[in-house]
């Protein structure tokens, strides 16, 4: 993929209804695992994280890590 496309994608993911809706679903599902009983933050891996924008939002739940096969991503 052309590296400049990742910049476009990142900007699009911030406000586009599809990405926002999907991100909200992921956050809601991940929050179910944060029951607070262990007293420890969640450790979350976003495999295939692309631009990594979801990492920014998942940080509220704990320690977040992202990896992607593309070094440009």
Instruction: Work out the pLDDT band at 7, boundaries 50, 70, 90.
Output: confident
**What pLDDT does 42 receive?**
87
CA–CA distance, 69 with 31 (Å, rounded to integer): 26
Instruction: Work out the pLDDT band at 35, boundaries 50, 70, 90.
Output: low
38 or 43, which is more confident = 43
pTM: 0.79
Cα 28 from chain centre: 12
pLDDT tops 70 at residue 3: yes
């Amino acid at each position: 993929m052309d590296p400049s496309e990742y910049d476009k994608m990142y900007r699009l993911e911030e406000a586009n209804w599809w990405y926002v809706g999907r991100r909200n679903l992921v956050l809601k599902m991940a929050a179910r695992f944060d029951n607070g009983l262990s007293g420890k933050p969640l450790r979350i891996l976003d495999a295939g994280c692309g631009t990594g924008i979801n990492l920014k939002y998942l940080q509220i739940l704990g320690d977040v890590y992202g990896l992607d096969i593309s070094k440009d991503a």
